[in-house]
Amino acid sequence: MMKQQSDIPSVASHVEQRHPISMYLKVWLLLFVLSACSYMVDYFQFQGPLRWTLILTFMFLKAGLIIMVFMHLAWERMAVKLLLFLPPFAILVFIALMSSEADYVFINRIMSFFNP
């Protein structure tokens, strides 16, 4: 994972990121293709679970590429990855709470607005 360079001090080796430009160009191209794919999901009007699966797949692939390669997280130490990836689990819990709350509000609205 981590490349040790001999010409610079060891501490700097994982602080400074040295990668070939071609790597960035490839990821850039990949992001373009993935964005085009997610646009096609709308263009061809896929509906239902297929649409949601495709949207989420392309979204997570793009997000992963940006975080891991462009933001260099793939080359950071595990402690940094934990710092950034553990707290967002609270967000997942919040999503679960709020979606069940939204269902509850929806059912209540249906019952009181349309069932006098």
Partner 1 sequence: MQNDDHQKDHETNKASSWQSVVNDWSADKQSFDMPWGKLMMWLFLLSDTFIFSIFLISYMNVRMSATVAWPNPSEVFALTIAGHHIPLVLIAIMTFILITSSGTMAMAVNYAYQGNKKKTVYLMLATALLGASFIGMQAFEWTKLIVEEGIRPWENPMGANQFGAAFFMITGFHGLHVSAGVIYLTVIAKRINQGKYDKKGYHIVEITGLYWHFVDLVWVFIFAFFYLW
Count Cα neighbours of 113 within 13 Å in the Cβ-side half-sphere: 6
Question: Using CB atoms within 10 A of its CB, is residue 13 exposed (0-12), middle (13-18) or buried (19+)?
Answer: middle
Size of residue set near partner 1 by CB under 8 A: 65
Q: Does 67 interact with partner 1 (rule: CB under 8 A)?
A: yes
DSSP 73: G
Give the whole-angstrom CA distance, residue 29 versus residue 22: 10
Minimum CB distance to partner 1, residue 11 (Å)? 6
Candidate residues 6, 7, 18, 115; the one interacting with partner 1 per rule CB under 8 A: 18
Give me the residues that bind partner 1 (CB under 8 A), please. 1-2, 9-11, 14-19, 21, 24-25, 27-28, 31-32, 35, 38-39, 41-43, 45, 51-52, 55-56, 58-59, 62-63, 66-67, 69-72, 76-84, 87-88, 90-91, 94-95, 98-99, 101-103, 105-106, 109-110, 113-114
